[in-house]
Amino acid sequence: MTDVEASPATEHEHHLHGHHADAGHDGEHGPHDAVSDNRYIVIAVILAVITAAEVAASYIDLGAVFIPLLLFMMAVKFFIVASFFMHLRFDNRVFTWLFYTGVVLAVVVYVIALLTFRFFEA
């Protein structure tokens, strides 16, 4: 192959590689390589342990700590699944903003709705 023939091909190859590199940076293919299969299993075990702790807590009299503790464990499980299984931790931040905007909007709107119905008053 002559230099004249090789040059555009090489340039095109660079373009394609560059595209993939950029895409990976943007989170098109990159985030999936960030966590290994073994790590996914460890995460699933952590989720199972937290679920077991939640169920165990519901059988124990923990007093005033009970509901905040359950809500905390629920939030931890939510964030673990969203961050690692849904790859938000490694993906482009636009996706994180889109999803958590929905979550925060839902929480704010419905907490206001519950307040109007005096839900939190004993």
Partner 1 sequence: MSDVVKEDVVDAAVDEAHSGDIAGALADAHDDGHGEAHHSSLGLSNTKLAMWLFLGSECLLFGGLITTYMLYRNAHSADVGPDQLWDIPFTSASSFVLLMSSLTMVMAVSAANRKDDRNTKSWLIVTALLGSLFLAGQVYEFTTFYREGLGYTDSLFASSFYTLTGFHGVHVSVGIVMLLATMAMIAKNKISGDKAETVEMVGLYWHFVDVVWIIIFTLVYLIPA
Residues 24-53 that bind partner 1 (CB under 8 A): 26-29, 32-33, 37, 40-41, 43-44, 47-48, 51
Please report whether residue 90 would count as binding partner 1 according to CB under 8 A. no
What is the Cβ-side half-sphere exposure of residue 101, based on CA atoms within 13 angstroms? 6
What is the Cβ-side half-sphere exposure of residue 43, based on CA atoms within 13 angstroms? 18
Instruction: Provide the minimum distance between the beta carbon of 64 and partner 1 in the complex, in angstroms, as a whole number.
Output: 13
Q: Which of 86, 76, 19, 18 is nearest to 50 (CA)?
A: 76
Instruction: Provide the minimum distance between the beta carbon of 20 and partner 1 in the complex, in angstroms, as a whole number.
Output: 9
Q: Are 73 and 50 in contact (CB under 8 A)?
A: yes
| 82 contact partners, CB below 8 Å, separation of at least 6 | 88, 99
List residues near partner 1 by CB under 8 A. Answer: 4-5, 7-9, 11-12, 15-16, 19, 22-23, 26-29, 32-33, 37, 40-41, 43-44, 47-48, 51, 54-55, 57-58, 67, 70-71, 73-74, 77-78, 81-82, 84-86, 92, 94-95, 98-103, 105-107, 109-110, 113-114, 117, 119
